[in-house]
Amino acid sequence: MIAAIELIGAWCNFRVRGLGVGCRFFFVMLSKVPVALKRRGLIRDQIHFIGNYSLLIILVSALFLGFVLGLQGYHTLSTYGSEESLGLLVAVSLVRELGPVMTALLYAGRAGTSLTAEIGLMRAGEQIAAMEMMAVDPMARVVAPRFVAGVIAMPILALLFSAVGILGGWFVGVKLIGVDGGAFWSQIQGGLNLFRDIGNGIVKSIVFAIAVTFIALYQGFQARPTPEGVARATTRTVVSSSLTVLGLDFLLTAVMFGGG
């Protein structure tokens, strides 16, 4: 009995300590962002690594998602005789939800894992310790530039995702199926609000970028410096950032669109 209560206490203690370490990591990272912003070369290299190399997977996924949305939307809407609303359906679902969320999930898989593995291996290879020995702050030199680059790159990727997805929906809906092109675009223009829909989509993608990049960096930094530890940290990055993104998405949607 006493042992069971002790177990609960130890578990709580462990979790609360993890929370504290995470928060502390986050705020130290934020405090190093101004230092990192001065070293634009580092940030540029990381944007290149995170953003440009993720372009292919993001664009191809967006195109096919747009195709599928066009097809499925058409079949559903044609039941109600309102095929003209296809453009609005595709655009709203992409800009509000699928663009930011799918980009964040793909970003976690493509860029988040590589960030975790890179930093984890730097730790395992004692590069981080070597930096500390040379009085180079690893938070400012390694972590903060990657954070800034991720927060810059992911919203851009999400915008590209939405735009390419709408083009994919347009291709299937208008070019292949034959929905009226004018109605497709005018429905989008009539129904999509620049600030309420596109603006909120960008806000969402920025929040997701902060969450996913932070989780990836934190997991990499906290990974046990062994090959197995790095492997576990990479897995944890994908799992917890996916869950965080989906949970945050619900919260943000409730705040942004819930009131109606």
Partner 1 sequence: MNSKRTDLAVGFFVLAGFAALLFLALKAGNLAALTLNRHTYTVTAKFDNIGGLKARASVRGAGVVVGRVERIDFDNKAYQAVATLELNDRFHFPKDTSAKILTSGLLGEQYIGLDPGGDPDMLKAGDRIESTQSAVVLENLIGQFLFSKAADSSSPSGSAPAAQASAPAGALAPPSLALTPSSTSKPAATPAGKVSP
What is the contact surface with partner 1 in residues (CB under 8 A)?
Answer: 41, 44-45, 47-48, 51-52, 55, 80-82, 91, 95, 152-153, 155-157, 159-160, 162-164, 166, 185-186, 188-190, 192-194, 197-198, 202
Q: Shortest Cβ distance from residue 51 to partner 1 (Å)?
A: 5
Question: Is residue 96 a contact partner of residue 197, using CB atoms and an 8 Å limit?
Answer: yes
Q: Are 224 and 232 in contact (CB under 8 A)?
A: yes
- Burial of 144: CB neighbours in 10 Å, binned 0-12, 13-18, 19+: buried
Q: Closest distance between partner 1 and the C-beta of residue 151, in Å? A: 13
- CB 74, CB 86: distance < 8 Å: yes
Q: Is the dihedral of CA 122, 127, 128, 131 positive or negative?
A: negative
Q: Pick the closer one to partner 1 by CB: 47 or 233.
A: 47
> Closest distance between partner 1 and the C-beta of residue 167, in Å?
9
Complex with partner 1: residue 186 or 253, whichever CB lies closer: 186
Contact of 103 with 158, CB cutoff 8 Å: yes
Give the count of beta carbons closer than 10 Å to the beta carbon of residue 247.
11
Query: Is the Cβ of residue 197 or residue 240 nearer to partner 1 in the bound state?
Result: 197
**Could you tell me the two tokens for 231?**
């492997």
Nearer to partner 1, 18 or 190 (CB): 190
- Min dist CB 224 to partner 1, Å, is 33
In the DSSP assignment, the letter for residue 137 is -
Calpha distance 77→85 (Å, rounded) = 8
Instruction: Tell me the closest approach of the beta carbon of residue 55 to partner 1, in angstroms.
Output: 7
CB nearer to partner 1: give 112 or 201.
201
Tell me how far, at minimum, the Cβ of 258 lies from partner 1, in Å.
Answer: 18
Q: Which residue lies nearer to partner 1 by CB, 114 or 222?
A: 114
